[in-house]
Each structure stands twice: as C-alpha cells, then as structure tokens.
Amino acid sequence: MTPHIESVLRKAVEKLRVAEMLVANGAWDDAVSRAYYAAFHAISALHLSQGQTFSSHAQSIGRFNKDFVRTGMFSKEFTAILTRLFEDRQSGDYDVSGLVTAEDAQRDVDDARRLLEAIDAYLRTAS
C-alpha cells in the first residue's frame, strides 16, 4: 500500500473516531456526516489503489459499485450502506427539522466502521 493510500485510510479512521465521539455527545447530525466521510475516504483509498480518482461523490460511489460490488469483491450490502450514509449526511447537514435520531447515528457509525474495516483488510492483503 502506498503512503498516499495509507494517509487516505488514516483520514477515514479519524473521521470515524470523531463520529463516535459525536454520537457519545448527542451530536447526531454531525455524527452521521462524519460517518459518511469515513466511508467516503475509505472508498477513495480503494479507488486510489486502482489508480483512479473521481471529481464527485456520486461518481466515486457509482464506480465502487461497478468495480468492486458487481464484481463480487465486496458485498452488495455496502451499496445500500453507502447510499443510506450519503442520504443521512444530506439530512444531517441540511435538514433543519432534526430527523436524525440517536439510533440512526449509531447505525451509521457501525456501518461505516464495517465498510472501513472491509476495505482496510482488502487493501492490506492486496498489497
């Protein structure tokens, strides 16, 4: 694994750590946002391992699904997780009605952790 990919993974781990702290402190909107970015940085590291970068989040998620989920490298469950994390981040960042719950935030943190751990394990064995 290259130093650059390792630094992107460290960024993902840091976002996840912050998301966990935010959940513990009841800041659910911000927790789901950080959980999403943990997952986003994890898939960005995966793309970098293939020599790819993308200019939009939608492109990055789409290519993750095409290159890694549809090929069977990663579970289809991760497609649903990424989609929900993205939607929850949108809600947490922009919706003023306070729809994000403690349960939503904890679920998003747990799912982002699972995705990050799966990608980290893949990258460490692929190196």
The model's pTM is 0.93
Give me the CATH code for the 3-126 domain, please.
1.20.120.330
Q: Give the tens place of pLDDT for each residue, 61-95.
A: 999 999 999 999 999 999 999 999 999 998 888 87
Q: What are the residue boundaries of the structural domains of the chain, listed by start?
A: 3-126
Burial 25-57 (b: 16+ CB within 10 A, else e): eebbbbbbbbbbbbbbbbbbbbbbbeeeeeeeb
Q: Give the tens place of pLDDT for each residue, 39-54.
A: 999 999 999 999 999 9
Q: Which has the minimum average pLDDT: 65-69, 81-85, 98-102, 119-123?
A: 98-102
